[in-house]
Chain A
Amino acid sequence: MIRKTRIRRTWLAAAVIASGSLLATALPANAETGVSAREIKLGITLPLTGAASPGYSKIGNAMDAYFKYVNDNGGVYGRKVTLIQKNDEYSPQLSIAKTNELILRDKVFALVGPLGTANFTAVHKSVGLAKRRVPSLFLNTGFSGFSKKKSYPTSFMVLPSYAMEAKIIAQFLKENHAGKKLGIVYQNDEFGIDGMGAFKAAGTKFDVTIPYTSGSQSSATAQTWVSQLAAGGAEVVVMFGVTSATGALLGVSAAARYAPQWILGSVGSDPVTLRAIGVPVAVLNGAQTPAGNPSPNDTSDEYVKQFQEINTKYNTGVAFDDYVLQGMNIGLLTVQALRAAGKNLTRRGLVRAMETKGSKFASVAYSPLGFSRTSNVGHTGYYMAVMDATGDRKPFGGKVTLYTTDSGSGPVVVSTFKRPAMPAKGLPSNS
């Protein structure tokens, strides 16, 4: 009897502790989450540590540097923009946990620039961003699935989709490498399959096709890829994978003296990241790659020049590269979106502003933005570039030839689009 009483008391004590802890805090809701008279709170999840962090980890600080520059110049209608960065180590389950922290604990107004296809897919589904009507602006992923407006009504892309990229590469192969034996290594998930579907639709036939499972890439697996590519006689090889896979492929190929014409997808071709994981950048010499933005070394470009100045002052000591450029540009786009949503800032108003005014925003990329009431597609094209032994890129053929297309069956066309000018001093004045 005494024992039973003791067991009951212990169980009840445990329940009381659980109840007390759960009841500990319950905060009242604001008029609009994450917005006060003086501040707009935004959040981003990205890999600040771990294998994927080289390069990507710079995006958040670059955005933050741009927001600080805007804050020092009056903010957005007098409100300062605060960016909360959360480290997800590029792991989907951590992205979910960290996004929950951003939305439930930090109570951010919107997500900006969340990174990774698998990560955002998991976050969108698990956290229920659409149901909560949380705006997710300028996703750092090109998965064309995110352009389904019905499924992702509050999300907006910024990068051209992987399908667009594959279609443009397919066109480039047809125009410049016709008759050569083609090989491709691709990641066997949404990212790679998105591209492969577009290659197939464009009629590109690869003589050697090598899929790999995300996470399985290593020097050992790259040995088997190189053996297959060499045995198949591939003269032009498309690498449609992440940077670690590209690095393994290029490193093993160089050691084996296998030197086809490389065409590197935009995701895995960043020289800074390749250097960070131990790949000698010289192997990039002559590699061809689709590019959306000007080179970060091109100081004749008004956007690059302005962003470099901001970087020097607000992101001191950080080398200005593609990632910093991308981060600052997302900052610029975000400020335009916040201004377009008006002084009475609401989540609904922000989504509407993106739909109705987003296509006119100033952006460093050469291609037009595709935002509308029926489209959450960001940039819609690439130009082809050639890399040198330092990893820097120059337009293929000496001048930028911009190709635009869609993620479906639309044609690839050479575009004459002129991007909007950089706002004066890099400070948007739109409304």
Chain B
Amino acid sequence: MRKKIAIFILIGWALLIIGDRVDELRVYQGAQVAMYTIALASIVLLTGYSGQVSLGNGAMMAVGGYGAALTLNNLGTPIWFAFLMAIVTASLFGALLGAAAARVSGPYLAGTTLALAVGLPAIANQFAFLGGEPGLFFDVGFPPERFGDEFTQYKWFFWIACFIALIALFITSNILSSRFGRTWKAIRGNSLAAELCGVHSSRMKVLAFTVSSGLAGLAGAVLAMTISLVAPGAYGLALSFALVTGAVLAGISSLPGVVLGALILVFIPEISVALADRLGDADKLNNYLPGLIVSVLLILSVIFTPNGPGENLRKHLHKKPAH
């Protein structure tokens, strides 16, 4: 445990140094990587460990984002409390959904959560208190003045996002290596066998949904912070599909792999711009290329590395010490 804490502190320290060395675009992208890391961790926990396939994590992010924004805007609470409320709101919603989801599995569960991803963000359009299509502002404020004029808003986002991501990953990795993680794995492997061993599989599935939703909600609030906004369009179907792709590329049961998945998701638009510039008519191509790249990567990954390149990398790294 001490070593793990030391590693997380080391990574945090490295990120602080990196934040000072790179230009502002990379700092902004760094905050996005942190956001995706948390979101992908929620999928790894739910799908990789408890075996429940969800296509609706974008919707759970929306619940967290709106929970945080409503808390901050209406109650004027400190920012950390808004993030906490994002977790609480999404967890409660996840518990309700989990109770229903525990009754279905496989493609039926995927279908149910897909419906959620399609429908939930659009609900915001119908309620004025949720801000309609333009959404609600989520303003975490300027960085403290003592950091100086050179300390930009995006660096502030980067710091907050990385801090939250490190804590979220630390807690998640501990949960996954605890009794709960082992139980979820047992359910995923063979639900009937797990029940014969005394595991209450439905209850544990609901718990997995609740914890995963809390993480997704937290990612939703971090996303809202990086764009200063919660709006239905930010949590659309494309986000849910991108997350699934990221999780598959990361290796669906590999928690450290989520960093790789998050990096791929953030840098797909970069690849798209580079490709579009080479192919010509960049403006038009840029509208469609990111979606195409995500789809192609997902298909190639499923064909050639069913467990994801992240999982393969992890196995490769694990093999070396034994040789």
CB-CB nearest in chain A for B25:
A104
**Pair A213/B23 contact, Cβ less than 8 Å:** no
Residues of B within 8 A of A93 (CB): 135, 227, 229, 231, 233-234
CB-CB nearest in chain B for A105:
B25
**Pair B229/A96 contact, Cβ less than 8 Å:** yes
A13, A22, A188 — which one has the most chain B CB atoms within 10 A of its CB? A22
Q: A93-B234, A122-B134, A213-B128 are in contact. Are A26 and B229 (CB under 8 A)?
A: no
Q: When each residue 1-29 of chain B gets 1 if its CB lies under 8 Å from chain A and 0 otherwise, what string results? A: 00110010011001100100111111011
B-contacting residues, A13-28, CB 8 Å: 13-15, 17-19, 21-27
**Pair A26/B26 contact, Cβ less than 8 Å:** yes
Q: For the complex, give the distance between the alpha carbons of A24 and B257 in Å.
A: 20
Instruction: Point out the residue from A21, A189, A214 that lies within 8 Å of B267, measured CB to CB.
Output: A21
Interface size on A, residues (CB 8 A): 52
**Pair B317/A26 contact, Cβ less than 8 Å:** no
**Pair A8/B7 contact, Cβ less than 8 Å:** yes
**Pair A85/B283 contact, Cβ less than 8 Å:** yes
**Pair A14/B134 contact, Cβ less than 8 Å:** no
Residues of A within 8 A of B25 (CB): 100, 104-105
Determine the interface band of chain B, counting residues with CB < 8 A from chain A: 35 or more
Residues of A within 8 A of B227 (CB): 93, 96-97, 122, 126
Q: When each residue 206-228 of chain A gets 1 if its CB lies under 8 Å from chain B and 0 otherwise, what string results? A: 00000001111000000000000
Residues of B within 8 A of A313 (CB): none
Q: A9-B317, A213-B125 are in contact. Are A18 and B287 (CB under 8 A)?
A: no
With both chains docked as a complex, state the minimum distance between the C-beta of A390 and any C-beta of chain B, in angstroms: 31
Q: Does B256 contact A (CB under 8 A)?
A: yes
Q: When each residue 166-209 of chain A gets 1 if its CB lies under 8 Å from chain B and 0 otherwise, what string results? A: 00000000000000000000001100000000000000000000
With both chains docked as a complex, state the minimum distance between the C-beta of A223 and any C-beta of chain B, in angstroms: 16
Q: A26-B22, A104-B25 are in contact. Are A17 and B263 (CB under 8 A)?
A: yes
**Pair A100/B26 contact, Cβ less than 8 Å:** no
Q: Does B33 contact A (CB under 8 A)?
A: yes
Q: Does B286 contact A (CB under 8 A)?
A: yes
Residues of B within 8 A of A100 (CB): 25, 28
**Pair B125/A216 contact, Cβ less than 8 Å:** yes
CB-CB nearest in chain B for A97:
B227
Residues of B within 8 A of A5 (CB): 321
Q: Does A373 contact B (CB under 8 A)?
A: no
CB-CB nearest in chain B for A98:
B286
Residues of B within 8 A of A86 (CB): 283
Instruction: Point out the residue from A10, A22, A24, A92 that lies within 8 Å of B229, measured CB to CB.
Output: A92
Q: A14-B256, A15-B11, A104-B28 are in contact. Are A23 and B233 (CB under 8 A)?
A: no
With both chains docked as a complex, state the minimum distance between the C-beta of B133 and any C-beta of chain A, in angstroms: 3
Q: For the complex, give the distance between the alpha carbons of A10 and B313 in Å.
A: 9
With both chains docked as a complex, state the minimum distance between the C-beta of B174 and any C-beta of chain A, in angstroms: 12
Q: For the complex, give the distance between the alpha carbons of A89 and B3 in Å.
A: 47
Instruction: Point out the residue from A85, A125, A188 that lies within 8 Å of B139, measured CB to CB.
Output: A125
**Pair A18/B23 contact, Cβ less than 8 Å:** no
B132, B134, B228, B229 — which one has the most chain A CB atoms within 10 A of its CB? B134
Instruction: Point out the residue from B15, B126, B256, B263 that lies within 8 Å of A11, measured CB to CB.
Output: B256
Q: When each residue 213-234 of chain B gets 1 if its CB lies under 8 Å from chain A and 0 otherwise, what string results? A: 0000000000000011101111
**Pair A87/B256 contact, Cβ less than 8 Å:** no
Instruction: Point out the residue from B4, B22, B125, B257 that lies within 8 Å of A215, measured CB to CB.
Output: B125
Residues of A within 8 A of B127 (CB): 213
Q: Does B93 contact A (CB under 8 A)?
A: no
Instruction: Point out the residue from A26, A49, A96 that lies within 8 Å of B228, measured CB to CB.
Output: A96
**Pair B153/A131 contact, Cβ less than 8 Å:** yes
Q: A13-B317, A96-B228, A104-B24 are in contact. Are A214 and B133 (CB under 8 A)?
A: yes
Q: Does B199 contact A (CB under 8 A)?
A: no
A-contacting residues, B225-280, CB 8 Å: 227-229, 231-234, 254, 256-257, 259-260, 263, 267, 273
**Pair A6/B321 contact, Cβ less than 8 Å:** yes
Residues of B within 8 A of A8 (CB): 3-4, 7
Residues of A within 8 A of B128 (CB): 188, 213
Q: For the complex, give the distance between the alpha carbons of A126 and B156 in Å.
A: 12
With both chains docked as a complex, state the minimum distance between the C-beta of A127 and any C-beta of chain B, in angstroms: 8
With both chains docked as a complex, state the minimum distance between the C-beta of A315 and any C-beta of chain B, in angstroms: 15
Q: When each residue 86-115 of chain A gets 1 if its CB lies under 8 Å from chain B and 0 otherwise, what string results? A: 110101111011001000110000000000
Instruction: Point out the residue from B3, B133, B139, B286 that lies within 8 Å of A4, measured CB to CB.
Output: B3
Q: A49-B287, A85-B283, A215-B232 are in contact. Are A26 and B23 (CB under 8 A)?
A: yes
Q: Does A281 contact B (CB under 8 A)?
A: no
Residues of A within 8 A of B11 (CB): 11, 15
Q: When each residue 24-39 of chain A gets 1 if its CB lies under 8 Å from chain B and 0 otherwise, what string results? A: 1111000000000000
With both chains docked as a complex, state the minimum distance between the C-beta of B219 and any C-beta of chain A, in angstroms: 15
Q: For the complex, give the distance between the alpha carbons of A195 and B267 in Å.
A: 42
Q: Does A422 contact B (CB under 8 A)?
A: no
Q: Does A48 contact B (CB under 8 A)?
A: yes
**Pair B263/A18 contact, Cβ less than 8 Å:** yes
Q: For the complex, give the distance between the alpha carbons of A22 and B318 in Å.
A: 26
Q: For the complex, give the distance between the alpha carbons of A85 and B287 in Å.
A: 12
Q: For the complex, give the distance between the alpha carbons of A19 and B17 in Å.
A: 10
Q: Does B30 contact A (CB under 8 A)?
A: yes
Q: For the complex, give the distance between the alpha carbons of A347 and B89 in Å.
A: 44
Instruction: Point out the residue from B22, B125, B231, B234 that lies within 8 Å of A23, measured CB to CB.
Output: B22
The 10 closest A-B pairs by CB, nearest first: A215-B133, A118-B134, A215-B125, A126-B228, A104-B25, A14-B259, A213-B132, A91-B233, A93-B234, A10-B256
Q: Apart from A15-B11, A213-B133, what are 6 other A-B pairs with CB-CB below 8 Å?
A: A8-B7, A24-B26, A86-B283, A87-B286, A118-B135, A213-B132
Interchain residue pairs with CB less than 8 A apart (14): A10-B254, A11-B256, A14-B256, A14-B257, A15-B259, A19-B18, A22-B18, A26-B26, A48-B284, A93-B227, A93-B233, A104-B25, A118-B134, A131-B153
